[in-house]
Amino acid sequence: MKSLYDDNIAQEFTTDLEYRVYTSRLLGGDPSLVLHGGGNTSVKSVVNGEEILYVKGSGWDLATIEEAGFAPVKLDVLKEMATLVKLSDTDMVSQQKEAMIDKSAPNPSVEAILHAIIPFKYVDHTHSDAVVTISNSVNGIENIQEVYPNYLIIPYVMPGFILAQTIYNELKNIDWETCEGIILHNHGIFTFDNDPKVSYEKMINGVTRAEEFLDKNAELVIEKYMPRADLDVVKLQTIISKEKGYDVFVKVNQSPLALHYASARNIKELATRGVLTPEHIIRTKRNPMIIEDSDIQKSIDLFEEEYLEYYNQFTSNEIMINPTPNWAVVKNYGTVSFGKDEKEASIIEDINNHTMQAVLKADMLGGYQSISLADSFDMEYWELEQAKLKK
């Protein structure tokens, strides 16, 4: 992966935020680093004598972010929040909002506290495919340690206050002189520096190490398959629309990758091992439905039955999400993504493409292994997501 930082462009910048927007867009422009609103960045600055963290606001995409997309939050308030013993994510969000110096700005990212406690001016965070592919495998812990000997490595913890608190405790005994970055297992990577270019290039170099490891140990060869099965797409669309209660847009994917994936001997074992990075679960659910023959209704019934089992196993009275799948892997045919409109179906398809690649590569490292069922449930039924449903 090459640095796209252009000193000729950067020499025009005079403010911290101008640099922050520039390198955020460089990261956001590469879908192998962040997809559709994933990842976040920040810069610590001074406004009217007060230290302020400008952190990516929710609803903004790094690829297109502008200065207005950064939420300005009082740094000392965020640092103080990190020391709390207990804080619900709902309270965290409202306290972060309280601490903004411009109330019309977007809500700060849920990872704002984490950005605040890293004592460098620029902090960059991505969900790099290469990093999470290595991490999401049975030997992920050992392999990540090998690739990142000078990084702080954090076992999987759900995003939100508990993650910020975990890192706050870890940072007490850290030697910043030698720490090159932070890896969050099954989630992503952080780099940081007082210089925007250095922080960005630490990200590029960190991700390159993961890419080189994969090139050496998991080089993926996509075999050429022709579709060997047919699918009644209209029937599938009709059934999914009925189950979801609205007309869905369906997007069929018969790219070489999708065909390779759908042509595996046991697609159910292959494709139902969880998401690449936790936040994807909100878009895709943990798994796709699997269609192996022409009985589409039977396949949906089975998916929903298994979804209900998963819900019942972990619920403590959360509102159940509609159990209909958001995408399907269809034996010898390809994949199909369902969205409320074309945009949503395309986002889901993009995520699937990155996940399929990662699964195939991680299998070459000994086996793909995502977060557990229990951790998946906690993410899918996060109180912040439940709050949206209650509205």
Start-to-end CA span in the chain (Å): 42
Residues 102-121 that bind Zn ion (CB under 5 A): none
Q: Give the binding range for Zn ion (CB under 5 A) out of 54-62, 185-193, 251-259, 316-324.
A: 185-193
Of 28 and 188, the one with the shorter C-beta distance to Zn ion is 188
User: What is the size of the binding site for Zn ion (CB under 5 A)?
Assistant: 1
Tell me the closest approach of the beta carbon of residue 175 to Zn ion, in angstroms.
24
- The helix (H) or strand (E) run that includes residue 40 is strand 40-47
Tell me the window of 172-180, 186-194, 199-207, 326-334 that interacts with Zn ion (CB under 5 A).
186-194
Of 258 and 281, CB closest to Zn ion: 281
Nearer to Zn ion, 69 or 188 (CB): 188
Nearest approach, Cβ of residue 92 and Zn ion (Å): 15
Return the number of the residue (164 or 300) whose C-beta is nearest Zn ion: 164
* Encoded amino acid at 135, one letter: S
Q: Is 119 in contact with 51 (CB distance < 8 Å)? A: no
Under 8 Å between Cβ of 164 and 111: yes
Q: Report in angstroms how near the CB of residue 249 gets to Zn ion at its nearest.
A: 28
Binders of Zn ion among residues 188 to 227 (CB under 5 A) are: 188
* Of 163-171, 180-188, 304-312, 321-329: span binding Zn ion (CB under 5 A): 180-188
Cβ-based neighbour number of residue 326 at 10 Å: 24
Site for Zn ion in 294-353 (CB under 5 A): none
Q: How far is the CB of 40 from Zn ion (least distance, A)?
A: 7
351, burial (CB in 10 Å: exposed 0-12, middle 13-18, buried 19+): buried
Query: Cβ neighbours of residue 271 under 8 Å, at least 6 residues apart?
Result: 261, 287, 288, 290, 329, 356, 359
Give the shortest CB-390-to-Zn ion separation in angstroms.
Answer: 24
- 2: burial class by Cβ within 10 Å (0-12, 13-18, 19+)? exposed
Q: Is 7 left (phi over 0), alpha (psi -120 to 50) or beta?
A: alpha
Say if residues 159 and 279 touch (Cβ distance below 8 Å). yes
- Concatenate the DSSP letters of all residues of 148-174 into one string: -TTEEEE----SSHHHHHHHHHHHTT-
Kindly state the smallest distance separating residue 111's Cβ from Zn ion, in Å: 6
Closest CB to Zn ion among 30 and 363?
Answer: 30
* Distance between CA atoms of residues 332 and 295, nearest Å: 15
- Print the binding letters for residues 135-174 with Zn ion: x by CB under 5 A, - otherwise: ----------------------------------------
**Cβ proximity to Zn ion, 35 vs 267, nearer residue:** 35
Pick between residue 154 and residue 171 the one whose CB is nearest to Zn ion.
154
The residues that touch Zn ion, with contacts defined as CB under 5 A, are 188
